[in-house]
Structure 1
Amino acid sequence: MDLLEAALILVAGTAAGTINAAVGSGSLITFPTLLAFGIPPVTANVSNNIGLVPGGVASVWGYRRELADQRRRLLVLGSMSVLGGVVGAVLLLVLPASAFRSVVPVLIGVAVVLVALQPWIQRRLARRRDGREARADIGPGAMVATALIGVYGGYFGGAQGILLVGALGTLMTESLQRLNALKNGLVTAVNTVAAVTFLVVAPGQVDWRVVVLIAVGSTVGGLIGSRIGRRLPQPVLRAVIVVVGLLAIVNLLRPA
């Protein structure tokens, strides 16, 4: 890895941390960047996951006010996220690398569609909330959805946050800002438990140079994203994520 590649990975990590805190789908920036520099897909995914954990912690800290009265949600849904994250991380490690290379383009494709449709999803959620009071209860549907998204997040994770906001927004009547804060906590739980699993079970898949660069960048980005929130130019960010995601699909589908 030369100096230019290191600088670009650091920039990608900062962008991912910012996008994750304010929108979600930051992995669609960092993961394709790592692939472009020739890092094997599984190693890129594992290292990216570990590197994004500090950024997630920073985003949770930035949204601490919105999370102050959601501790029960974090505890209950967070336990579902942890269970799902462990399952997803184990699947990544036990399935052959060829399976990951085959499945991830599909996952990225789904993630790109979700990112592109996010404004429509938000409008639908806003209309659904009209005239209704926020509910603090957590039903079985929210728990199952969180666990399944946790499996997805432990295995890959791109657009995990968009999936959570969309799913929980249809199951709980809540503001998008508070859902975004909850999403940051749940995604961080998934990434953390997956990172621990990777470190314990497959430390050889970790590229520590990548981890450090993304960790530094994502921490800075997490603090930035949590501060500016909706003031980010989301249409521009959404367009960048979609383009990068499509490039990642093309890169993964190319003959090895």
Structure 2
Amino acid sequence: MDSVWEAVAVLLAGVAAGTINAVVGSGTLVTFPTLLACGLPPVLANVSNNIGLVPGSLSAAVGYRRELAGQRQRVLRLGSASLLGAAVGAVLLLVLPSSAFDDVVPALIALGVLLVVFGPLLQRRVAARAAARGGRGEHGVWWVWPAVLGTGVYGGYFGAAQGVLLLAILGIGVDDDLQRLNGAKNVLAFVANGVAAVVFLFAAHVDWVVVALIAAGSVIGGQLGSVIGKRLPPLVFRTVIVVVGVVAIVALLV
């Protein structure tokens, strides 16, 4: 960080990201553009951001511990998919040329924004379809595991809106209350972020000042999101994410 103000901005972005991740997902759409604005190269920003958000993911999972009751087998089964996928995604980030990452980031952010915008509509439609089919079972339909695997690859590579995508998958394929699924989502996101972070620790350059700032902020945000997020409509969060995402896309393209 070149100034105190940049450090404060990254810390606050970490708080916002931790809160958003606990409630909706897509906190990376706040922290990643903030790091780019502070002058970090895209790959370094992504790696440092991923590691910094791991404690926040754990904080959010702990905050949803009541909703996780009775989901041990489900989380273990789907967690294996997140683990494998994230390892693949993290390796892809490291082996592909930096130019490839630069080119794909705007598309990934655009995908995240679209998922944030259309996520609630998608969840309502698939819930109605599932009810017509008579339920989806404790562990979900057959394609849930490979879909979580694919989301893990995405999470290990970049991860913006990973939580929204996971919620959409779980909402479509698993018959359970959305708040309980959100608790499972937080654990799966923590697994994906944690695995990718381990890979990055051994194979990538890391800005530890950024990691510390985002980690501190995201832990606070994870608790805030788990306490107040269950009671607040996500519209405000979604609006902020969309605005930040669009600004990031424009900045990257220009």
1:78-157 correspondence runs (5 A)? 78-128=79-129, 130=131, 132-133=134-135, 135-157=137-159
**Shift of the alpha carbon at 1:236?**
1.4
Take 2:144 and 2:214, find their aligned partners in 1: how far apart are those partners? 31
Structure-1 residue corresponding to 2:160 = 158
Give the 3-state SS of the residue equivalent to 1:73 in structure 2: helix
Residue 22 of structure 2 aligns to which amino acid in structure 1?
A: A
**Shift of the alpha carbon at 1:130?**
4.4
Take 2:136 and 2:228, find their aligned partners in 1: how far apart are those partners? 24
**Shift of the alpha carbon at 1:138?**
4.1
Is the 2:136–2:173 Cα contact (8 Å) retained in structure 1?
Answer: no
Give the 3-state SS of the residue equivalent to 1:24 in structure 2: coil
Structure-1 residue corresponding to 2:198 = 196
Is the 2:22–2:225 Cα contact (8 Å) retained in structure 1?
Answer: yes
Residue 118 of structure 1 aligns to which amino acid in structure 2?
A: G
1:229-244 correspondence runs (5 A)? 229-244=229-244
Take 1:84 and 1:134, find their aligned partners in 2: how far apart are those partners? 23
**Shift of the alpha carbon at 1:232?**
2.9
Structure-1 residue corresponding to 2:53 = 52
1:17-56 correspondence runs (5 A)? 17-56=18-57
Structure-2 residue corresponding to 1:76 = 77
Residue 91 of structure 1 aligns to which amino acid in structure 2?
A: L
**Shift of the alpha carbon at 1:245?**
0.5
The RMSD of aligned alpha carbons is 1.4
Give the 3-state SS of the residue equivalent to 1:64 in structure 2: coil
Q: Give the number of aligned pairs.
A: 252
Take 1:59 and 1:135, find their aligned partners in 2: how far apart are those partners? 25
Is the 2:130–2:172 Cα contact (8 Å) retained in structure 1?
Answer: no
Structure-2 residue corresponding to 1:185 = 187
**Normalised by the size of structure 2, how large is the TM-score?**
0.95
In structure 2, the gaps of 5 or more residues are none
In structure 1, the gaps of 5 or more residues are none
**Normalised by the size of structure 1, how large is the TM-score?**
0.95
